[in-house]
Copies of this chain bind each other. A is one copy, B any other.
């Protein structure tokens, strides 16, 4: 099967679309110690080239240039020598090159940038830089975007930034963040897919990613791994995040709902079904899910030691419902099996994680922890609902000591929960509050991690390594286009 899945993935490899971005700067006359900033006018992913000319008849020594690619303006002035993050400094987008002769220079690597700073570290003579060009690449076809009018200008701007985020992450796969992580992550894919259906509609790219994951099963557990590398060869990233594995089934159901493509659904059905069946086979005696052995759980990064049991059960139930509904709509005889599991699972989860007395979710079996996460996922899993669920969610959001979402990825599910509870205006306000704050900072793309009151927040101990264009942040366009176009 693996070979078959990989063949299908290869068949759906997209052609990249190139756009020549030529910033409106003429020839720059530079000499030693000077620097220049090229503003591309927007965030792009691609390849940078320029031409060096001599203005005198010769330059007499190689010219040493330091070239830095920045996703936001403040990075232009950062001192990289003091970098102290947990990720490798080689992700910082900066090169030093020597140029011997006037020539057309094309930097060999791909960068994610809006601003490019060129500093002349050494030169004996002034020289000229000209013909700046950023060869931007994406597999998201802007001409395929639905033409629509978003009346609220703030939402219109948020939508544009979200679409740009997705576009720049759409390459050979849906990349995590093109500055630093070209991997395809399964949980993230699900969100990118939702946004893709209402924007670029590149369903071939979706198929490619789904087939790649179908081919990346962990031999021991049967779970699909959390992430893969697709270049230079497809590599199974090994690490299992059980919530991500489960989401494969949700992502396939979403795909079928968006495209009606029964052939793909049918080819990937077994892989999706397996994820849910493995969870079912490994349920605890009380009927709830627990990640065991080599399986980790993601849910979110956030401050504090998040207990993930309740949320994991929510992910399972949420996906089970989608899966059962899809089978039911197809008249599939197995629908009943999953409906029955869903009913029992909800009851078990309610009994294990919900405190009627407090109207709150007990997110861990071994003690009470108040978190937005557990609450959101009990709502999305259909364990709690209606007014009491809405009250529980607002309480979790408002409580000073509750754990809050740390990533745009988790914020997405808060919005989904609010929409599920019918609280559309609250959802719109939440969206504007979180993603709008990035726009207010001047974001051209949405970030990997964002904490409104802490612009230096980083999951890696140093914000200079953060990715400022991260696919899992793109879902405002999904909500806006699906719900908020009046």
Residues of A with Cβ closer than 8 Å to B? Answer: 57-58, 60-64, 87-91, 95-98, 100-102, 109-110, 121-124, 229, 231-232, 235-237
A88 B62 Cβ-Cβ under 8 A: yes
A87 B61 Cβ-Cβ under 8 A: yes
Chain B residues with CB under 8 A of A89: 64, 122
Known: A61-B91, A101-B232. 13 other contacts (CB 8 A): A57-B236, A58-B235, A62-B88, A63-B90, A88-B122, A88-B123, A88-B124, A90-B123, A95-B96, A95-B97, A95-B98, A100-B110, A102-B232
B229 A58 Cβ-Cβ under 8 A: yes
Chain B residues with CB under 8 A of A64: 89-90
The 6 residue pairs across chains A and B that have the minimum distance between CB atoms: A61-B88, A62-B90, A90-B122, A57-B235, A64-B90, A58-B229
Kindly report which residue of chain B lies nearest to residue A103, judged by CB atoms.
B232
C-alpha spacing A58/B102, complex, angstroms: 37
C-alpha spacing A235/B236, complex, angstroms: 57
C-alpha spacing A122/B235, complex, angstroms: 22
Chain B residues with CB under 8 A of A61: 87-88, 90-91
Chain B residues with CB under 8 A of A102: 232
Kindly report which residue of chain B lies nearest to residue A101, judged by CB atoms.
B232
Kindly report which residue of chain B lies nearest to residue A97, judged by CB atoms.
B95
Kindly report which residue of chain B lies nearest to residue A235, judged by CB atoms.
B57
Chain B residues with CB under 8 A of A101: 231-232
Kindly report which residue of chain B lies nearest to residue A56, judged by CB atoms.
B235
Chain B residues with CB under 8 A of A88: 60-62, 122-124
Chain B residues with CB under 8 A of A62: 88, 90-91, 109
Give, as a whole number of angstroms, the nearest-CB distance from A286 to chain B: 39
Chain B residues with CB under 8 A of A231: 101
Chain B residues with CB under 8 A of A96: 95-96
C-alpha spacing A97/B90, complex, angstroms: 10
Kindly report which residue of chain B lies nearest to residue A95, judged by CB atoms.
B98
Chain B residues with CB under 8 A of A60: 88
Chain B residues with CB under 8 A of A57: 229, 235-236
C-alpha spacing A229/B60, complex, angstroms: 9
What are some 8 contacts across the A-B interface (CB < 8 A)?
A: A58-B235, A61-B87, A61-B88, A62-B88, A64-B89, A88-B122, A95-B98, A101-B232
Chain B residues with CB under 8 A of A97: 95
Chain B residues with CB under 8 A of A58: 229, 235, 237
C-alpha spacing A97/B107, complex, angstroms: 11
Give, as a whole number of angstroms, the nearest-CB distance from A363 to chain B: 31
Give, as a whole number of angstroms, the nearest-CB distance from A177 to chain B: 13
C-alpha spacing A98/B92, complex, angstroms: 10
Give, as a whole number of angstroms, the nearest-CB distance from A296 to chain B: 17
C-alpha spacing A152/B101, complex, angstroms: 44
C-alpha spacing A109/B60, complex, angstroms: 16
C-alpha spacing A229/B58, complex, angstroms: 8
Give, as a whole number of angstroms, the nearest-CB distance from A476 to chain B: 30
C-alpha spacing A328/B57, complex, angstroms: 41
Chain B residues with CB under 8 A of A235: 57-58
Chain B residues with CB under 8 A of A109: 62, 98, 100
Chain B residues with CB under 8 A of A100: 109-110
Give, as a whole number of angstroms, the nearest-CB distance from A315 to chain B: 26
Chain B residues with CB under 8 A of A95: 96-98
Give, as a whole number of angstroms, the nearest-CB distance from A121 to chain B: 8
Chain B residues with CB under 8 A of A63: 90
